[in-house]
Amino acid sequence: MNNEKIEGVGTVHEGEYNDIIIDGMGKLKGTVTAKKVLVSGAFRSKGSLVAEEVNIDGIGRIFRNIKTDKLVVDGMLKIRRAEVNADSVYCEGLLSSTGSICADDININGYCTVRKMMGDSVTINNDSSGVNKLVKKLRFVSFLYFGRKINIEYCLVDRIDCTRLVANGLKAKVVHTENARLGSNCRIDRLYCDGPMVIDPSCKIKKVITKNEITEFNQKGSSDMADVTVKKILDLYKNSTINEEEAEMMLSSVYRTNLQVLGQGDTNTNTDTPWIEDGKLRIVAFLGKRLLKKGDAGQYKLEVKYEGEALAVESQGNLTCGDISGNASAGGSISGKDIGGNVSCGGSISCKDIGGSVLAGGSISRI
């Protein structure tokens, strides 16, 4: 295989190469396979690219799919209407994508504005030190050039599906994860998490949704997905065994949440209450036949006192309780003893010890 190096203006045509080095202005036409693609100038690809490593240290514009073991972005990379399938993605510059980025390991330490991320481990740290001045100049015309808006304060991602998420300065619409550690300045509309959560007080999350059990996913009359992990689904997608729509459906199944939170009934129960048989103690109130839910006017005036141990407790009003081995949530405040799981409430929290994560609308104190 030959090497290709462009120092002025040139074109890389369809074929197999060893190394492709772009120091000037280079174009790619047709399907290209290479060991390494190194860009320190300006690069435009209108052909599919398959490489062991792609390194963008300059400016890259991609309009066809990329499949690579390692994608490194130290400069600026714009991806339009295309997908990235990689083992690892590292960005310390600016990454913009109107398609999806799928990788086992995604690590962002710069800016990103991405429609969809799917990965086993996703780490996002919005770092304004690298390309801050350039982004400030570009942000007014960023949508015209990058196809998506750029925000200096946040990394923007519409949807994230992953096993483990660590983030600072993330703004996302929907996040599905099994393990979340959210640091400073995160804004998330809906967070679906089935495992441990550590959330910084500066984060603003509109809705946190947890799941009690994995439900079955049946598609085309087959496939019991109860034991499928996120990584397995990503592998199927990367290997083209399933398409993007099928991957989304399978991931949504893995993170299908408590039906009460979603406001839907459960067809497997013999009652007309909107939750499954999971052993959780629920303390609720009805106005006539209407079930009062979190956010309903007047519900915080409800005061519930519960003595004794419980697996998990959920109350629509204020909650005073004993020991709880699992999770506890309330529409108002929570006052109790030891809580072994996660605690979330709309008001203040006052208890002895908390074994999981904490999300409160008011103050947190230990008795």
Instruction: For residue range 53-74, list pLDDT tens digits in order.
Output: 999 998 899 999 999 999 999 9
- Cα distances from 198 to residues 50, 113, 252, 256, in angstroms, run 38, 24, 22, 21
Q: Measure CA of the first residue to CA of the last residue in the chain; give whole Å.
A: 71
Average the pLDDT over each of 23-27, 82-86, 133-137, 169-173 and give the range with the smallest value: 133-137
- Please give the mean pLDDT across all residues of the chain: 77
CB–CB of 31/65 below 8 Å? no
More confident residue, 88 or 275: 88
Overall average pLDDT of the 127-146 stretch: 49
- pLDDT of 102: 93
HEC states along 287-316?
ECCEECCCCCCCHHHCEEEECCCECCEEEC
Geometric angle at alpha carbon 84, from 83 and 88, rounded to 5°? 160
Closest CA to 78 of 101, 51, 109: 101
Note the pLDDT tens digit of each residue in 217-254.
333 333 344 345 666 777 777 777 777 766 776 666 65
Overall average pLDDT of the 34-38 stretch: 95
Overall average pLDDT of the 251-275 stretch: 45
Note the pLDDT tens digit of each residue in 97-121.
988 999 999 999 988 999 999 999 9
Question: Is the pLDDT at 284 greater than 60, yes or no?
Answer: yes
Overall average pLDDT of the 22-41 stretch: 93
- pLDDT of 257: 38
Sorted by sequence, the CB contacts under 8 Å of residue 140 that are 6+ apart come out as none
Phi then psi for residue 45, to 5 deg, are -120, 120
Where helices occur in 14-109 by DSSP H, the ranges are: none
- pLDDT of 310: 64
- pLDDT of 117: 95
More confident residue, 48 or 356: 48
CB–CB of 264/274 below 8 Å? yes
- For 339, which DSSP code? B
Assigned token pair, 85: 């399938």
Sorted by sequence, the CB contacts under 8 Å of residue 221 that are 6+ apart come out as none
- pLDDT of 272: 46
Using the structure block, give the residue that is written with the tokens 């770092």.
127
- pLDDT of 230: 67
pTM reported for the whole predicted model: 0.60
Average the pLDDT over each of 11-25, 147-161, 245-259, 314-328 and give the range with the smallest value: 245-259
- pLDDT of 359: 77
